[in-house]
Amino acid sequence: MNTPVMPTFIETDLDAISDFKGKVAVFMSPTGQIGLGARRVNKLMKRSLTRLAESQQFQDMPNSACHVMSVPAGMDASDVLVVKMPKRTTVDDARLAGANLGKAVKGAALLILAGAGKHASEIAFGCALRQYSFHDHKTSEAPKQGAITIMANYADEVAQGYVSKAAIAEGVFFTRDLVNEPANILTTVEFAKRLEALKNIGLKIKVLEEKDMEKLGMHALLGVGLGSRSPTKIVIMEWQGGGDEQPFALVGKGVVFDTGGISIKPAGGMEDMTMDMGGAGVVAGVMKTLALRKAKANVVGLVGIVENMPDGAAQRPGDVVKSMKGDTIEVINTDAEGRLVLADVLWYAQETYKPTGIINLATLTGAIIIGLGHENAGVFSNDDALSRKFIKAAATEREGAWRMPLGKAYDKMIDSRVADIKNTGGRSAGAITAAQFLQRFIKEDMPWIHLDIAGVALLKTETDLAPKGATGWGVRALDRLIADHYEAE
């Protein structure tokens, strides 16, 4: 498992800059203004920063971009990294600047001359997030994460501001690791084992086995795993950091590999179905974050862990299964399995924990990618207030989220001739009918959001804060939601 770099925070000491061995980062405004640390660097480098500020190259640089000045005169550093930073720096500017430094550092030690600059802890956060690398199954030497030192005025205050961000970074890395793992490594058993280990940081962990699900009547979930040799499991993670109030619930789809079952997928791109447990991965990352930062809230995370494989014992198109709720479901397409998993886990979460609200996450449909691409997750909700809160939290954290419609007219598309409901309504409005299906398993007056994260969980291109692969989307937004609206003062 990968662990983010924990920055070191030290007081500003101008005399120590020249002797630092590694890379030194300085910040310069679009008009060439610099702080005390950068002034010392400029003096040591015989006004090289001043000349850079006057160049067209610097003028053409976007904000938060990084320019590398190699083998600086008068310093032991290998490079000086010059970041163009607007005078009125926002959190986004700071995180992006940090991420660009994280890319440029390439395993070297990094000294960031933050001085009296704003958002020093955010710069460190962006740098730590961007240094993530999933190298676990390569035989070559793993790329090193460079040590990060933040030289700042009032370093103790900056360090204190980073405490909660360190917990979030741990949660994001945990989610990325889970989503990046191949399915022969992250089996249902191994996934549950990794989640059970979270008891070491204070989470209460409970695991439901197949015999427990049988007793509960969870035949929608159990049907998905009939073709796999790996046992189906539900893992429940409880964080009791608040008072006596009922918890908020997070529910995740954890299909460790999805062949489509008997309705088998095309071969092209099937290798990406290792990420079909992305919803469960996000729930796990959020729960780890809450525990590490000792959140003053009660939150329960539940994940249904299963593998969808073709086999002589596998569920068939046309089969009818009975859910824990008691509704019968006609399985039209065994590749629409995620909603079957969530149906039983959602009902169990409500029956057992009586939550104040519930958010489920799933890499549920290709249709949401057609609609929203890879910029936004789809947000489906029965509660305007909860939806607004989440979308605001996601916007604050720059994790794209867009509200999609629900409506009774779509219910007609999933009416079944032989059962209470069928598990797919076909290609038209595919993401919406999937959400309508899930809503059947949400109790009246229960505030609920379904997040379809199929387009944002794992990308083939890098993002501002992540390399190619798993993004960890949703950990920051959901932690923000809990902190802003469900945590005691």
d(CA 102, CA 131): 5
Phi then psi dihedrals of residue 131, to 5 deg:
-80, 0
d(CA 321, CA 90): 52
Is there a catalytic annotation at residue 47? no
Marked catalytic residue, from 39, 118, 265, 392: 265
DSSP lists the bridge partners of residue 133 as none
Q: Where are the alpha helices (DSSP H) in 110-154?
A: 120-130
CB 197 within 8 A of CB 174: no
CB 115 within 8 A of CB 77: no
CA 415 to chain centre: 34
Phi then psi dihedrals of residue 360, to 5 deg:
-110, 150
- CB atoms inside a 10 Å sphere around CB 212: 13
Long-range contacts of the stretch 407-410 (C-beta < 8 A, 24+)? 407/432, 407/436, 410/436
Is there a catalytic annotation at residue 339? yes
Counting every residue, how long is the chain? 489
d(CA 77, CA 75): 5
d(CA 7, CA 146): 10
Marked catalytic residue, from 130, 339, 440, 480: 339
Point out the residues that are catalytic. 265, 339
